[in-house]
Chains A and B, each alone.
Chain A
């Protein structure tokens, strides 16, 4: 039995979790005097008519004390003569499900509060389900507020029956059911005189004696490589924490995913040279021959892990923006960080009833089952067999948020999997792969206004920040695609239509497109907007006045137009219709090229068009 027990407390908002733990610590004389003092002071301001409010001990954040509920996980530490404990006190509210999952992922045992006057609520089911998903195998159900049901054995038995049914539904490994009163202190540390009919252990007794390692069946040696240690040219060691089993100098191990073998010729347990090492220890291993090993590889002996790049997993979605099929992530499993995407959503799980619901998206605090594909083969196992090699997180590649956590149900072989072909690759998927929002930046303005120069500079800036772009201008369009078009009105309309269609296709391919054309007519630009799509069409009006453009006359076109050598020249013999709703306006006669670029970049960033970088 381990000398350290990590457990989580959960229950609905008013179930009294914080009070339960606070009171237990108080009764077990595990509080420091100044904390006790603060508790008494705080209670006078609090509600319980001058009585001690034990929950104040745990509700730490200002926001929580103001709202009177627990928002985030709080960790508490106490030690009795028998054991050391770390308690994760977690919020009960549905909107904080992810915070509860954080606490559950850390714990070996869950204390779930059930209100004796209300019985099992849907929240109770949700909490138990999340704990089970995160791998907790031992559950203590504290049937609280027994004082409110007059310490009735009948009431307790009724609830106990419900709990046993729940345990079967959720396939919980081991359960304990204890009648308590958190405010009055019944059965917390000493047996309650109000409930002589209960002959089982108190809450603290249970926590002190439960063996959470019982029933664990992880066999063989497994160690994910955290880092390669090279202090000099002669020594090369592999550092990591042993996940399971033991290893000795002289034993042969296998490196996954490569499958290469080597013999261990040196073992350091932290800084001590040893002959062997075991589960839980931080070690440095050296091998008898040079083989290719890097961070993310896994050492194994006498056991098998799966090497593949597809698996089916249960996810808990924790991000504000919902999960869509095809979305790209960084997946972290063990010490491996690798690009991955969610290939197919199979169904979501009703977190209260467990019912499977057909779904193609997953929203915050929802659970679901999906297929995931990684960029390369990775080493894993099913979560049921091996917690450490079957759990992972998904990290959003743009926001860096930890968007989901998941557990691997089983592997998928290519042959078994036909869904890949079934899936349609959409614009979102392509853009997601590039990690950007594909839009068209439509530069319009007179000849010589500075459109091309600006578009050029903006494109450079976008590329520097890792964006994938394409610039469409007179040179690459008029010479090829549109070389059969002249400058008559119909041709000008057709010219703009083709450019807009090409821009749209390139947006579909995931690219950010910049176009640089005079495009003088509102109706043409309106047409382009319709083709490209309202939300993707960003009109940038380069409003440099005619006098300035004519003065610059870089290509000598204005002069030729004035001389009548060019018919239908915009600004001279043909009108320029100013945009009425341009998203961005810059005038290169008023500010320098650099400043204009800055203005454009700033608005694009502020409007969230080019992302965060």
Chain B
């Protein structure tokens, strides 16, 4: 009778994430869960629903809308909020919009203004003291060294040389006024774990993850979706229709797709298991060189 029933790798990761989410709800004054609409956010939302059942998550969700997200993402976000009956806050850096900041003309300034600055503005506007993010340590080298409970000073900056020691599962959530904590419940998950968990739990995700014939252009070796008429075509660029899917979702002009036939979760998992390219290569911003993610994080990027 004392025999332990099968307890898999995914069971362990799920329990760990739920433990973290509950700790924040119990100890932090004003938490929020960042919701980026992507697959990792879908997993986080799913975990939050499970963590508090039969209660609803005792915190709101926040989407930073750069106004350049895929249309299907926005529709999916609004439907999820309705169906799950959760509070979904949406924030856009209106000053950036007024200045006409866009991903074509402003490069890394665009990411800073519409994402990093917008996030900082939103967090201070609502006075959130803790924010869940879907970051995983397998994504990037500087993330691999970040704590699960990652402390931010009054300027919302990360100091990688002065991280609080994080021992066992004893998380220190004590902060001073004006300071905050970013919390990463999926720290120990890999891309493969995320897909396998989505398959096991049958979690609904944005259809863009599944292969389908879509209008695209090839640009600098990336496959960019022509999501609306704001995408300026360069001379010699031609819109083609090909079967593509996306491994990560962000702003459509900055997100590269892959040619794929995987149109079911099962096929996606299989494709991922045999993947030869790690997922961040499909994020255009990461190509700036080693250390660029760390630099952005120090400045307050999630």
A residues apposed to B, CB below 8 Å: 2-4, 32-35, 38, 42, 59-63, 65, 71-77, 79, 84, 86, 98-99, 101-102, 105-106, 134, 226-227, 229-231, 235, 237, 239-241, 246, 268, 270-271, 278-282, 284, 295, 318, 330, 332-333, 335, 337, 387-388, 391-393, 395, 400-402, 405, 612-613
Contact = CB atoms under 8 A, between A and B. Distances in A.
Contacts of B4: 278-279
B234 interface: no
9 contacts: A60-B145, A105-B166, A106-B168, A227-B22, A270-B53, A332-B170, A388-B168, A391-B170, A393-B170
Interface stretch (B109-117, B125-133, B207-215, B276-284): B276-284
A62 B291 contact: yes
A35 B276 CA distance: 9
B190 interface: yes
A31 B4 CA distance: 33
A42 B278 contact: no
B172 A395 contact: yes
Interface string B1-23: 01011011101101100110011
B142 interface: yes
A21 to B, nearest CB: 12
Top 5 closest A-B pairs, CB basis?
A: A60-B141, A271-B53, A32-B278, A282-B18, A270-B50
A280 B7 contact: yes
A282 B188 contact: no
B53 A284 contact: yes
B290 A282 contact: no
A3 B8 contact: yes
Given A34-B277, A74-B145, 12 more contacts: A59-B141, A60-B142, A72-B161, A99-B165, A105-B166, A105-B168, A239-B22, A268-B53, A388-B168, A393-B165, A402-B164, A402-B166
Contact of B144 (A76, A230, A295, A402): A76
Given A330-B174, A402-B167, A60 B22 contact: no
B56 interface: yes
A34 B278 CA distance: 7
Contact of B54 (A59, A235, A337, A405): A235
Contacts of B281: 34
Nearest to A33: B276
Contact of A227 (B25, B167, B170): B25
B165 A405 contact: yes
A3 B7 CA distance: 8
Contact of B167 (A102, A231, A330): A102
A32 B160 CA distance: 26
B120 interface: no
Interface residues of B, number: 60
B299 interface: no
A602 B49 CA distance: 46
A282 B168 contact: no
Contacts of B174: 330, 395, 400
Contacts, number: 169
B165 A79 contact: no
A270 B9 contact: no
A103 to B, nearest CB: 10
Contacts of B49: 271
Contacts of A105: 166-168
Given A61-B142, A102-B167, A280-B11, A79 B172 contact: no
Given A2-B7, A60-B141, A79 B192 contact: yes
A231 B51 CA distance: 13
B294 A61 contact: yes
B176 A241 contact: no
Given A102-B165, A227-B25, A227-B26, A241 B53 contact: no
Nearest to B192: A79
A393 to B, nearest CB: 5
B241 interface: no
B163 interface: yes
Contacts of B167: 101-102, 105, 134, 391, 393, 402, 405
A227 B22 CA distance: 7
A612 B178 CA distance: 12
A72 B160 contact: yes
Contacts of B172: 332, 393, 395, 400, 402
Contact of A33 (B14, B19, B277): B277
Interface string B51-72: 1111110000000000000000
Contacts of A284: 53-54
A226 B22 contact: yes
A405 B166 CA distance: 9
Contact of A391 (B160, B168, B275): B168
Contacts of A227: 22, 25-26
Contacts of B161: 63, 71-72
Chain B CB within 10 A, most for which of A38, A73, A237, A613: A73
B34 to A, nearest CB: 21
Contact of A282 (B7, B14, B142, B175): B14
A72 B8 CA distance: 29
Interface in B139-178: 140-142, 144-145, 160-161, 163-170, 172, 174-177
Contacts of A401: 164
Chain B CB within 10 A, most for which of A76, A268, A337, A402: A402
Given A226-B22, A402-B164, A74 B54 contact: no
A73 B143 CA distance: 11
Nearest to A334: B170
B237 interface: no
A74 B170 contact: no
Contacts of B188: 75, 77, 86
B77 interface: no
Nearest to A332: B170
B187 interface: yes
B144 A60 contact: yes
Nearest to B160: A61
Interface string B257-290: 0000000000000000001111001000000001
B137 A270 contact: no
A295 B192 contact: no
A28 to B, nearest CB: 15
B50 A271 contact: yes
A2 B6 CA distance: 9
B137 A77 contact: yes
B252 to A, nearest CB: 22
A35 B138 CA distance: 11
Chain B CB within 10 A, most for which of A75, A99, A235, A333: A75
A249 B234 CA distance: 66
B15 A282 contact: yes
B78 interface: no
